[in-house]
Amino acid sequence: MKFVHIADMHFDAPFSSLNMKGDLGDIRRIEQRKILKKIIEYIKQNNIDYLFISGDFYEHSYIKKSTIDYINSCFREIPNTNILISPGNHDPYILGSYYETYSFPKNVYIFKGNIEKKEFEDVNIYGMAFTSFYMDGINLESIEKLDNSKPNIFIVHCDLNGSKDENGFTYNNISKTKLESLKFDYVAMGHIHETNYFVKNNNYIIYPGSPISMGFDELGSHGMIVGEITKNKKVKIEFVNLDDRQFVEEELDVESYYSEADLVIAIQSLNLNENYFYKIILKGKRNFEINPRKILKLVNKENILKVKDCTKLNYNIVELARENNLRGFFIREALKKLNMGEATKEEIDKVIEIVLDVL
> 229-259, pLDDT tens digit by residue?
988 889 999 999 999 999 999 999 999 999 9
Is there a contact between 193 and 208 (Cβ–Cβ < 8 Å)? no
Residue type, 77: E
- 56 versus 348: the higher-pLDDT residue is 56
Superfamily of domain 2-241: Metallo-dependent phosphatases (3.60.21.10)
3-state helix, strand, coil in the chain (%, to 5): 30, 25, 45
pLDDT band with cut points at 50, 70 and 90 for residue 166: confident
Instruction: Identify the three-state secondary structure at position 293.
Output: helix
Is there a contact between 165 and 184 (Cβ–Cβ < 8 Å)? no
What one-character-per-residue DSSP string does 18-49 give?
Answer: GTTSTTHHHHHHHHHHHHHHHHHHHHHHHT--
Rg, the chain, Cα only: 26
Residue 293 has pLDDT above 80, yes or no: yes
The three-state (H, E, C) secondary structure of 215-257, written as one string: CCCCCCCCEEEEEEECCCCCEEEEEEECCCCCEEEEEEECCCC
pLDDT digits (tens, 9 = 90+) for 91-138: 999 999 999 999 999 999 999 999 999 999 999 999 999 999 998 888
CA–CA dist 120, 104 (Å, integer): 19
Residue 358 has pLDDT above 90, yes or no: no
Residue 331 has pLDDT above 90, yes or no: no
pLDDT band with cut points at 50, 70 and 90 for residue 189: very high
User: 271: left (phi > 0), else alpha (psi -120 to 50), else beta?
Assistant: beta
Q: Where are the domains of the chain?
A: 2-241, 247-313, 317-358
Identify any residues that bridge with 5 across adjacent strands, giving them in sequence order: 52, 225
Is there a contact between 51 and 84 (Cβ–Cβ < 8 Å)? yes
Q: Which of 31, 46, 35, 127 is nearest to 74 (CA)?
A: 35
Is there a contact between 193 and 8 (Cβ–Cβ < 8 Å)? yes
Q: What is the pTM of this model?
A: 0.86
Residue 336 pLDDT: 86
Residue type, 7: A
Distances (CA, A) of 126 to 46, 111, 119, 224: 24, 9, 9, 20
